[in-house]
């Protein structure tokens, strides 16, 4: 690293390779992605950078909902299949 500083965690020096890896991590890094998706201000900055023409006043984050899979899943599949066939004209 060009800077001559040392980072320590709990009194232990953090290896230069780890620091370089952290500095080069992007949004495709799972940890970074999760942290950005959990913080409204970070997410708003990311959206403004990636979609500059999108205008929004506020942004709300909702946690991911769990989908329960049970006996009724077959009914959902049957309805979806019949809709696909109907749209295909079959």
Query: Domain residues of the chain, as ranges?
Result: 8-87
Q: Is the pLDDT of residue 3 over 60?
A: no
How are beta strands 12-13 and 8-9 bridged, if at all?
A: antiparallel
The three-class DSSP label of residue 8 is: strand
- CA neighbor of 61 nearest in space, from 84, 81, 82, 44: 44
pLDDT above 90 covers a percentage of the chain that reads 3
21 near 1, Cβ under 8 Å?
Answer: no
Task: Tell me which of 84 and 9 has the higher pLDDT.
Answer: 9
The pLDDT value given to residue 1: 44
- Give the model's confidence band at 84: pLDDT under 50 very low, under 70 low, under 90 confident, else very high: low
- Give the model's confidence band at 53: pLDDT under 50 very low, under 70 low, under 90 confident, else very high: very high
């Amino acid at each position: 690293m060009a800077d001559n500083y040392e980072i320590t965690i709990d009194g232990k020096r953090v290896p230069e390779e780890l620091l370089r890896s952290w500095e080069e991590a992007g949004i495709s890094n799972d940890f970074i992605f999760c942290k950005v998706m959990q913080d409204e201000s970070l997410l708003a900055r990311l959206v403004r950078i990636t979609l500059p023409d999108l205008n929004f006043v506020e942004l709300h984050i909702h946690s991911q909902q769990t989908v329960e899979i049970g006996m009724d899943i077959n009914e959902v599949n049957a309805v979806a299949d019949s809709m696909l066939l109907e749209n295909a004209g079959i």
